[in-house]
Amino acid sequence: MRRIRTTMLQPGMKTARNIYADDGTILLGAGMALTEYFIYRLDELGIASVYIQDDVFNSLGEIPDVIPEEVRIRTVQEVKETFHALESSRSINVYKVKDAVENILDELLANHDILVNLSDMRSYDNYTYYHSVNVCVLSLLTGITLGFNHPDLKELGIGALMHDIGKTQIDKEVLNKSGQLSPAEYREIQQHAVYGYQILRSYDDIPLLSAHIALQHHEHWDGQGYPRNLKGDEIHRYARIVAVTDVYDALLSDRPYRTAYSVNQAITILGRMAKTHFESRSLTAFVSNIAIYPIGSVVSLNTGETGMVVDGNYETPTRPIVRVMFDRHQRKLTPPHEVDLSTFRTIYIARVLSEKDISRLKNSN
């Protein structure tokens, strides 16, 4: 299967994964043939990309994920309900928040040797809720890698899941503005960190350090962040982790004003920000859990051959197992063969192919 932008979908293509509506119900099931109407509705709903079946780059089977799809979808709905409760001047259900974090943590501890491979198909309107869940998952994975104990992981998870809850207090027109923000609007957006801290600290059942994640997740390692210009060790270790995962998931998300970056591109950007924005220890621990080349990526090797990533190597995430399907002359191989890049030190991935590259390759055979 391959991930493809909605604008490039064609009638007759088949979905490879379920596509969910805002309420968590299945909008289109896996294996559904797309029609012009379905494609129009996906675009109208703000779903920027989907996974499709592919007649050439196929035979992957079920791709492992660090948490089951049903857990992710259910948690997204719980985050959405929590945010809506605050917007309606009601209290949040702290028990549900804690239970959601515990469920995610249980899944991660049971699947600690699986690299993060998949990206969810979120609509623009649901961005904040999916983002909150992803940041929680990624932050907990990082905390586990750093050796946090169970109570610390729970505090980290609660704060990560609720890190953007202060956005409920921001004017929606400003929050969802696709154009450039004015200085006043940018200052208003920055206040969400303070608002989130104030909201969370008002609940006795939420740890104070979890509230500090909401307050500090936009602080930078060099002291140039907000809202208090904290620097280095002044930033709590939980917030240092969420600072990384927050930026990473944002980079991987389709936004109204830009296309999502690839995993490889996002990791490269984080690396460039390492000395200014992030603590290196947290960044290194985070990256160790990411499949730099996710399963299903179509890649070109330095040998000139082209293939698809079919499995990852936990110990060497940059050197996955590739099913080579085209030779260096771009001729289709029958049958293809697999190369474990962790055992061939002179062979490496040169680049990830774009959708246009893939279409051109398929049309030439």
String of DSSP letters for 57-71: S----PPP-SS-HHH
Quick one: pLDDT at residue 310?
87
pLDDT above 80: residue 23: no
How far is Cα 306 from Cα 319, in angstroms, rounded to an integer?
A: 15
Quick one: pLDDT at residue 121?
55
Quick one: pLDDT at residue 337?
93
pLDDT above 80: residue 282: yes
Task: Please tell me what DSSP assigns to residue 159.
Answer: H
Contact 213, 239 (CB under 8 A): yes
How far is Cα 39 from Cα 198, in angstroms, rounded to an integer?
A: 42
Q: Give the count of alpha carbons within 13 A of 255, CB side only.
A: 15
Residue of 31 and 158 predicted with greater confidence: 158
For the whole model, what pTM was predicted?
0.88
Quick one: pLDDT at residue 103?
96
pLDDT above 70: residue 22: no
Q: From residue 111, how far is each of 136, 238, 242, 284 by CA, in Å?
A: 16, 22, 21, 20
Which residue ranges form the domains of the chain, and what is each CATH number?
Answer: 2-52 (3.90.105.10), 69-287 (1.10.3210.10), 298-363 (no CATH)
How far is Cα 350 from Cα 327, in angstroms, rounded to an integer?
A: 14
pLDDT in tens, 146-178: 999 999 999 999 999 999 999 999 998 898 887
Quick one: pLDDT at residue 305?
96
pLDDT in tens, 63-103: 777 888 889 889 999 999 999 999 888 899 999 999 999 99
Q: What percent of the chain has pLDDT over 90?
A: 59
> How many residues does the structure list for the chain?
365
Quick one: pLDDT at residue 113?
72
Residue of 252 and 56 predicted with greater confidence: 252
Interior angle at CA 121, CA 16 and CA 353, nearest 5: 70
Quick one: pLDDT at residue 210?
98
How far is Cα 292 from Cα 265, in angstroms, rounded to an integer?
A: 9
Contact 302, 6 (CB under 8 A): no
Q: How far is CA 167 from the centre of its chain?
A: 19
Q: Which of 50, 234, 237 is CA-nearest to residue 159?
A: 237
